[in-house]
């Protein structure tokens, strides 16, 4: 007998895939109860849910998600699109987002665009075309076509890490301007006048612009101006912080304080300072933002802005499900940041106390 005929006969002996009816029969419940246990588990009795779950595991049953989505017009999946997974703050927020969605019987489709605006639209579109009940993005600075796509498809949208009035969707986040404004006041209170900032690329990042403005406005209140020469746009990474310090080393007059907009940048700056013999905080103070786990473990421990990343993930998950299920908002949409003072922030060096205020015009951020 030809080889292909034998293989075909073996295939015909494969057992049929288990059906929902098989699950219901094994669980000892009605077909309707089995269906509800898989689609809306919070609406069935715990005993029934446990019986159905056991039957699903024993049979290896996999529901036909595509058919269910076509019938209900819902997929019970949420698209989570982040700029990067390199930042631990985003990872922590995504973790609580996913855990919260799982508890509500939703799944997450994750996609990354690596801070590339041209790529973001393609990523968003690909996620939307998979069929999702809602989308979670970071920030409000997105191309018009991203918002247009969401509106045209009538897909609920939650924007995180920022509080603004977006073209479409709702925001859950914090006041980025206030966060760096408060940190800058702490730095100024220790006598620092020549302050540098390590931020992200501002052209396509409203959060970065707001954070730079927070420092500039706090300095302005003290009769100081943030010099454009001391605003370093770098990636939100350890290397970004190292690159900024390498530029500072070459300046004729170095800043006495360096305000970084992520802890990763601050960690990179701390490392590079050691390479060049710059003592922290004796020669230059350094601050960060996020309060990731490593911040407290640095030498010296890092002064930073604690961002409630876990809370952002939880609130975003709950709100996107409320929007997908057309339910009213039951929780707050904003979170508060706090300043965490550690040893990396010190008083201005004695030699710099009499230095004249910086009077250069700062870079435009709008």
Do 31 and 110 belong together in one domain? no
Which stretch of DSSP H or E encloses residue 311?
A: helix 309-324
Which domain covers residue 99, as residue numbers? 75-172+309-336
Do 346 and 225 belong together in one domain? yes
Do 17 and 130 belong together in one domain? no
Domain end call among 43, 63, 83: 63
Do 242 and 143 belong together in one domain? no
Is residue 357 a part of any domain in this protein?
no
Is residue 358 a part of any domain in this protein?
no
How does strand 257-260 pair with strand 304-306? unpaired
Do 130 and 191 belong together in one domain? no
Percentages (nearest 5) of helix, strand, coil residues in the chain: 45, 15, 40
CB atoms within 10 A of CB 146: 22
CB-based burial label for 238 (10 Å; 0-12, 13-18, 19+): buried
Do 13 and 87 belong together in one domain? no
CATH number for the domain spanning 10: value is 1.10.260.40
C-alpha separations of 10 from 7, 17, 353 in Å: 5, 16, 86
Is residue 168 a part of any domain in this protein?
yes
- For every one of its 366 residues, what pLDDT tens digit does the chain have, with 9 covering 90 and above? 444 333 433 344 556 778 888 889 999 999 888 888 887 777 888 899 899 889 888 887 766 544 455 445 678 999 999 999 999 999 999 999 999 999 999 999 999 998 888 899 999 999 998 889 999 999 988 999 999 999 998 999 999 999 988 889 999 999 999 999 999 999 999 999 999 999 999 988 889 999 999 999 999 999 999 999 999 999 999 999 999 999 999 999 999 999 999 999 999 999 999 999 999 999 999 999 999 999 999 999 999 999 999 999 999 999 999 999 999 887 788 999 999 999 999 999 987 665 544 444 444 433
Q: What is the pLDDT of residue 70?
A: 47
Q: How is residue 163 written in tokens?
A: 């509080």
Question: How many domains does the chain fold into?
Answer: 3
Do 196 and 49 belong together in one domain? no
Nearest alpha carbon to residue 204 among 118, 84, 265, 111: 118
Do 166 and 313 belong together in one domain? yes
Is residue 80 a part of any domain in this protein?
yes
Look-up: residue for tokens 């019986």?
51
Domain end call among 37, 63, 89: 63
Do 218 and 278 belong together in one domain? yes
Are the C-beta atoms of 131 and 155 separated by less than 8 Å? no
Is residue 69 a part of any domain in this protein?
no
CATH number for the domain spanning 187: value is 3.40.50.2300
Do 210 and 241 belong together in one domain? yes
Is residue 361 a part of any domain in this protein?
no
Is residue 297 a part of any domain in this protein?
yes
Do 347 and 210 belong together in one domain? yes
Do 235 and 346 belong together in one domain? yes
Nearest alpha carbon to residue 345 among 191, 199, 222, 201: 191
Is residue 107 a part of any domain in this protein?
yes
């Amino acid at each position: 007998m030809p080889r292909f005929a034998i293989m075909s006969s073996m295939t015909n002996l494969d057992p049929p895939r288990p059906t929902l009816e098989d699950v219901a029969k094994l669980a000892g419940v009605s077909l309707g109860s089995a269906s509800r246990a898989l689609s809306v588990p919070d609406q069935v009795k715990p005993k029934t849910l446990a019986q159905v779950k056991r039957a699903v595991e024993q049979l290896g049953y996999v529901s036909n998600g595509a058919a269910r989505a076509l019938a209900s017009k819902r997929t019970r999946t949420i698209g989570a699109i982040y700029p990067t997974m390199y930042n631990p703050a985003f990872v922590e927020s995504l973790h609580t987002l996913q855990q919260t969605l799982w508890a509500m019987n939703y799944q997450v489709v994750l996609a990354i665009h690596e801070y590339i605006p041209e790529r973001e639209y393609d990523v968003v579109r690909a996620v939307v075309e998979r069929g999702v009940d809602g989308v979670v993005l970071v920030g409000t600075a997105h191309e018009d076509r991203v918002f247009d796509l969401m509106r045209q498809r009538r897909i609920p949208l939650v924007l995180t890490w920022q509080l603004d009035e977006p073209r479409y969707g709702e925001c859950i986040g914090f006041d980025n301007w206030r966060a760096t404004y408060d940190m800058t006041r702490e730095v100024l209170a220790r006598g620092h006048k020549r302050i540098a900032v390590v931020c992200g690329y501002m052209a396509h990042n409203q959060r970065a612009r707001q954070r730079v403005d927070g420092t500039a406005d706090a300095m302005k209140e003290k009769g100081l101006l943030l010099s454009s020469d001391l605003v370093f746009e770098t990636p939100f990474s350890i290397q970004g912080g190292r690159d900024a310090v390498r530029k500072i080393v070459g300046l004729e007059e170095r800043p006495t304080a360096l305000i970084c907009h992520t802890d990763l940048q601050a960690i990179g700056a701390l490392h590079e300072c050691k390479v060049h013999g710059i003592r922290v905080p004796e020669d230059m103070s350094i601050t960060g933002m996020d309060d990731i786990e490593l911040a407290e473990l640095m030498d010296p421990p890092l002064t930073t802005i604690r961002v409630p990343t876990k809370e952002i993930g939880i609130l975003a998950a709950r709100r996107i499900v409320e929007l997908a299920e057309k339910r009213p908002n039951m929780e707050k949409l904003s979170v508060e940041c706090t300043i965490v003072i550690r040893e990396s922030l010190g008083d201005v060096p004695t030699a710099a106390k009499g230095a004249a205020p910086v009077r250069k015009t700062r870079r435009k951020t709008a």
